[in-house]
Structure 1
Amino acid sequence: MHCNHCLFYVAGLFVAYAFDDISQKKVATQSHTPEGQNTEASNAVDRKTSTCMRTLPIGRNNPQKTVWWKVDLDGVYNIQSINILFKNYDGYEDRQRGRFAGFSLYVSNTGVIQGSRLCYKNGPHDHLPPLNFTAICPESGRYVIFYNERYAGSTYPTGSELENVFTELCEVIVKGCNNPSFYGSKCDIPCPTNCSDSTCHIQSGACFTCKPGWTGIHCNKTCTDGWYGVNCSQQCVGHCRDGVTCNQQTGQCDTGCDKGWTGVMCDKGILEGGKKD
């Protein structure tokens, strides 16, 4: 590897120096690994640039069409950026950039791409990615997932390698706050009290979702009468005693039901003789 790539690597780290490295030596897995080689997924989080993970090749005519690598941060964290150092070979930089072209980065709470939040996509009209790549990704999640594919009929950036596409990640550095309940460039500002899971946008402090009964960007406003639940998105459905509104967190009628109604939400009518509708 050329020295200049090492300098770029250091520069990439320096950009996000105020944030914590939350992926170092965490548990990593990948879709497939060549036998008999020291190229397991954990090589991308060991902070040794001389060791890289590697997968079986993907390609339009290869048996494997997709590849993924992911790291489990061992908890939900506020993420600021994702820095990837792709492996380079002397004189083959363009080939390597073409191999990584088209890749995506996801942030997930479950570890699967379905339902994850797309952080970055190298689209068909984009340039080939640099071998030292950083994506700003102000998300909250437990897993960071690298994904790439090579399907016949799909369009990839000009210069993409389409066959025998090896994925070799030497380091994946996820920057964020070690304490997920804090945000800011120094990770020293508490997230608003009513943010769900006590996590918030790492730059602005805005809540991703609110605890039941609260709404607003910083979840500092109570639900208006007649509404309850997460982000105040559910309407009270019962007949609470004396017209009192339902509990803004649970939707239940804490003071009891009006005459003729029953149930914790007072949504079940009672016929004469005590029988329910």
Structure 2
Amino acid sequence: MCLTLTAGISLGVQIHQSPSAVIRNTGDNVQLVCTHGQSDYRVMLWYQQSPGDKALKLIGYGYTQFKNDRFKSGFQAVRSKEKQSSLTITNVQTKDEAVYLCAASLHTYFGKGTKLTVLEKDKEITEPTVEVLRPSPTECRNEQRNKTLVCVATGFYPDHVSISWQISGVGVTKGVATDEAAQWMPGKTFYQITSRLKVSEEDWYNPKNQFNCTVNFYNGNDTVPYTDSIRGEGIVFIVKSCIYGAFVVFLVWKLQVCSTQCSM
């Protein structure tokens, strides 16, 4: 089935879905709510999008009243009002982790979705550690004159995170490249995600500039920001660094020459 996703608001149609994220323990029940503003949209539908899967799976649908035999096992829906529907997921398991989307009318208008995470046994919610890394020393010789800052968020569970960058308090999106999803670190029982910010040489060599990376982490109750920052480097420091680098290269070459001569 080919579906056209129009999330949130389109052509005056408003689909509101809440909450936007949910974290639950195994065996809990979860309730999601969807409302819209069109009285002539009598059919409402619920879909499931599993992690890493772009396809939407239809959970069930209903008209004025839902018939739960139209829903998959473990899911119950109620049409409490003409423009409102609630979906209950009973006895949630890790297999139920997904983004759940509500739709109204002919599958066209969707809510923004609810991300459900089911905590694994013996795992606790853990906040991220955030660090901004300076550009690589090799970029001192970068002919394109761009510098790349890297923001690393690690040690967190579950993976409800988003990343944003600011330069001296002003949000930036140009030059930002963030991993599509947090990566599970095998054997370490936590997630990690990185984001890269490419800035001009002029911006980086301005010591007045402060580069902030903010990682917003949802802990099941609130979305909490975790931030790290670094300042741009002064040109004097850069020149010294380059001179020092050249000195190290010269010293290594000198030792190699000495070693060759001494062995003759």
Question: TM-score band, normalised by the shorter chain?
Answer: under 0.3
Greater strand fraction, Structure 1 or Structure 2: 2
What TM-score comes out, normalization by structure 2 length? 0.25
